[in-house]
Amino acid sequence: MREHVGASCGEWLILFPAENIAFIEPVRSQTRFCEWMHRDRGAAGEPVLDLRLLLGVPVSAPPENGVFLRWRSTDGARRQTLLVDTVEEIVNCYDDDLIDVRILPRRLRPLCDQVMNHPSGRLRLRVKPDVRLPLGLPGERRRFARSLLASWWDGAHFAVAVGEQLR
């Protein structure tokens, strides 16, 4: 049995192996976001990867209503803060609960290879344990760059919003 963190991005249900999630934290009030390309380079911290944008799901809620997941590779060498709509539950997955999937949309194949049934009848995509983002093609690099956000908290490190704020 392996524990997974169950999250949602729009209509997508996603499972992350729990060993790859260092922390889960709701986006604090007064946190502001802008596109990474429009950030103040002198003041911006680490980028946040908005999974909704990466997966191409319609964004129904502003990023300020989301949840941060701190993802890390198994060896700890790679880390990334992810933004999802919600974290719903910790899911216990047994080997026979996961179904290998050979047919997935092209943008998902490098990220997921298994699904698990959800009680609602929908499927949850399982992120590979030590996933690497595909950045080989120019279109993949553009999608990744458009999915990066800069964030700051008005009450702490950054006092002035820079760039064009996302709505």
**Is 159 inside any structural domain?**
no
CA–CA dist 114, 65 (Å, integer): 28
**Is 38 inside any structural domain?**
yes
Whole-model pTM over 0.85: no
Type and span of the H or E element at 53? helix 51-55
Average pLDDT over residues 140-153: 87
**Is 65 inside any structural domain?**
yes
Given this model, what pLDDT does residue 163 score? 45
Quote the number of domains for the chain: 1
**Is 112 inside any structural domain?**
yes
Confidence of residue 22 (pLDDT cuts 50, 70, 90): very high
**Is 166 inside any structural domain?**
no
**Is 7 inside any structural domain?**
yes
Given this model, what pLDDT does residue 43 score? 66
Average pLDDT over residues 72-85: 91
Write down the residue that tokens 């702490």 correspond to: 156
**For the chain, percent of residues with pLDDT exceeding 70:** 90
Burial 73-112 (b: 16+ CB within 10 A, else e): eeeeeeeebbbbbebbeebebeeebbeeeeeeeeeeebbb
Given this model, what pLDDT does residue 80 score? 93
**Is 116 inside any structural domain?**
yes
Mean pLDDT over all residues of the chain?
84
Per the structure, the complete domain to which residue 61 belongs is given by: 2-153
Rounded to 10 degrees, the C-alpha dihedral 37/132/93/3 comes to: -70
**Is 100 inside any structural domain?**
yes
